[in-house]
Amino acid sequence: MAIEQTLIIVKPDGLVKSLTGNILSRLSEAKLIIVGAKAVRVSRELASTHYEHLIDKPFFQELIDYIMGKLHGGNRVVAFVYQGENAIQRIRDIVGHTDPEKANPVSIRGAYGRITTSGVFENVVHASSSPEDAEKEIKLWFQPSELVEDIYPVKETVVKEMKTLVWA
């Protein structure tokens, strides 16, 4: 069985409903290790790139607003990278079906998700669905220095005159 990595995001409805602890407890059943974790302010650009495969769907704009927190009065999510054998499928099994009404009632989405009247599936968490998606998503959401293992090849680069914030 291959060692895989997978990106998990606690979506804004998961944060508003104070479900992060429950979600992490459920995910811990998979006996995987966390190699990255952070809170993220989701820009429109990040949201659109993350969901670019759904750009033609009628719910795309609402989906972008949803992941940006605009439906829940926040602008943040919490993101994790988990690693371990068969990590992608094992996490997807715990997370459940995309549609909360089709999800196993004991899965995270089955227990906590809902369908809004305007139709977007508010399903509490994101989880990568293939090794290709996981690599794209992890590289989108995390820099190499934010992970405690070198899971993909890296290269050194010199960044000149880059404006950044340091502690005052």
Q: Judged by CB under 5 A, does residue 129 bind Mg ion?
A: yes
Instruction: Say which entry of ligand IDP, Mg ion, none residue 49 contacts (CB below 5 to 8 A, set by partner kind).
Output: none
Q: Which is nearer to ligand IDP, 22 or 144 (CB)?
A: 22
Minimum CB separation from ligand IDP for residue 144, in Å?
25
CA angle at residue 129 from 82 to 97, to 5 degrees?
Answer: 105
Written as one letter, the residue type at 100 is P
Task: Give the x-and-dash track for 22-61 against ligand IDP (CB under 6 A).
Answer: --------------------------------x----x--
- Asked about 97 being catalytic, the answer comes back as no
Residue ranges in 89-148 that form contacts with ligand IDP under rule CB under 6 A? 98, 119-121, 123, 126, 129
Structure-block tokens of residue 35:
């190699």
Q: Which helix (H) or strand (E) holds 121?
A: strand 121-122
Contact call for residues 43 and 101 (beta carbons, < 8 A): no
The residues, ordered by sequence, that sit 6+ positions from 81 with a Cβ below 8 Å of its Cβ are 5, 6, 7, 8, 34, 35, 36, 37, 138, 142, 147, 151
104 in contact with Mg ion (CB under 5 A)? no
Residue ranges binding Mg ion (CB under 5 A)? 129
Residue ranges binding ligand IDP (CB under 6 A)? 54, 59, 63, 98, 119-121, 123, 126, 129
